[in-house]
Amino acid sequence: MIPVLGYEEQNVAILGLGRSGMATAKAVVAGGGEPICWDDSVEARAAAEAEGYTIRDLSKAGAFDDIAVLVASPGIPHLYPEPNKVIQAAWMAGVPVDNDIGLFFRSFGSGDWMDHDTPPRIIAVTGSNGKSTTSALIHHILTSTGTPSQLAGNIGRGVLDLDAPEDGEVIVLELSSYQTDLARSLTPDIAVFTNLSPDHLDRHAGMGGYFAAKRRLFAEGGPDRAIIGVDEVEGQYMANQLVDSFADGRLIRISSGQKLKGAGWNIYAHKGFLSEWRKGRQAGSIDLREIAGLPGAHNHQNACAAYAACRAIGTSPKLIAEALHSFKGLPHRSQIVGEKDGVRFVNDSKATNVDAAAKALQAFKSIRWIAGGMGKDGGIAELSDHLGAVQKAYLIGFSAKDFALQLGDTPYELCDTMQVAVTKAAAEATHGDTVLLAPAAASFDQYPNFEKRGDDFIAQVEALL
């Protein structure tokens, strides 16, 4: 556990008693503070009360009279699409509002572990797509090469649940826009920006607000080194703002699909090969084409980001290359579920938006595509240029009919359920085909989350195999 420091003998209000909220309460107690808890859920309040925590309705008048700080769960919208009433009450009472990420950064730099011979470092990863794979890949490389590491944030454990770090340890955090938007302290040693595509626009009141939430990781605290994906204009803009010259070693630019030139530190993937260039000279190269856990150009971008982060802390290119080959990938992200008679089955249930689905559709040559769910604004119209490898689409869920209208000449079939879609796709697939689940939609019409949707795909495939 990482004790929350700076609130000894003070009341810390906690709004939202899910995983992060309960971990925060424990960490506040460990740091000598007193958690005051609230959640709209009766069950959540009862569970917290059973743990011995004080429950207070934070929506009542005067609720913040003796509160030092309000810690809100990242999942609770605070400003858009409309202000949360409890959070707004804290604003009006002059009480600072933070989240567990802000408390973590505030407390981490003051712990006893800073007396280690080699103080622990933090690598934080954000972006629209690929941040989970990138974070897990960094963690895998570090542990494979003998560097102690823990993985937390939007993946794995909550940040305040982390163990006290060892000498020389590297903490890898995946941070969503929900987490970076509200945190009052963001001070990683290395910060990674993978890419940007439209997502969570209602929460951030549009694309500008969404980008601003991501940018806070770089602008608020100023990491010692920034790794920026420059395949979108937002990344190009941010890379330009962070340093006076690309020759500044504090910036590493990464790309998938374009060769990066200049005297700075550049890492890119082109035609399946990762290349590192520094001060005008090539410093490393890796053939990514045969790494089973990293299929497609989008995963090559993830490999570039992870490679850059590990090079930034001094890991050699040779050791990174060895570790990349042993990476198995993450569940629900281009996950190879099985193969039969030359037909592969790939679970990319995490492809919940069109940009992620486009990257998945470009990773394979002959595709039986399972798509659909709760479609987002615009449906799949933007995928029209990425359907060349799709032999047929098998559409499921609420938006199946709407998706069908946007497929142009691509053959399709309305299947409604995952079981029907997998059965029909498998029956029609031939040697060399890939049956790919890349929904390009949220899961909430049929499943509680994308993980359960992916689990259903896996179960149907396993039943066939």
Distance (Å) of CA 82 to CA 67, 194, 444: 24, 29, 22
Task: For residue 426, give the amino acid letter.
Answer: A
Does the annotation flag 423 for ligand binding? Answer: no
Say how far residue 257 (Cα) sits from the centre of its chain: 22
Give pLDDT, residue 235.
96
* Structural domains in the chain plus CATH codes: 11-98 (3.40.50.720), 105-325 (3.40.1190.10), 335-464 (3.90.190.20)
Does the annotation flag 128 for ligand binding? Answer: yes
Give per-residue pLDDT as tens, 38-50.
Answer: 999 999 999 999 9
How many Å apart are CA 129 and CA 131, to the nearest integer? 6
- In the DSSP assignment, the letter for residue 333 is B
How many Å apart are CA 461 and CA 434, to the nearest integer? 12
Does the annotation flag 397 for ligand binding? Answer: no
Does the annotation flag 131 for ligand binding? Answer: yes
> Do strands 281-287 and 273-278 pair parallel, antiparallel, or not at all (unpaired)?
antiparallel
How many Å apart are CA 380 and CA 382, to the nearest integer? 5
pLDDT band at 315 (very low <50, low <70, confident <90, very high): very high
Preceding amide of 295 cis, omega within 30: no
Q: pTM for this one? A: 0.85
CB atoms closer than 10 angstroms to residue 29? 18
pLDDT band at 373 (very low <50, low <70, confident <90, very high): very high
pLDDT exceeds 80 at position 111:
no
Give pLDDT, residue 388.
96
Tokens encoding 280: 């005008």
Helical pair 317-325 and 296-312, crossing angle rounded to 10 deg:
140
Does the annotation flag 314 for ligand binding? Answer: no
Does the annotation flag 127 for ligand binding? Answer: yes
Does the annotation flag 41 for ligand binding? Answer: no
Determine phi and psi for 331, rounding to 5 degrees. Answer: -55, 140
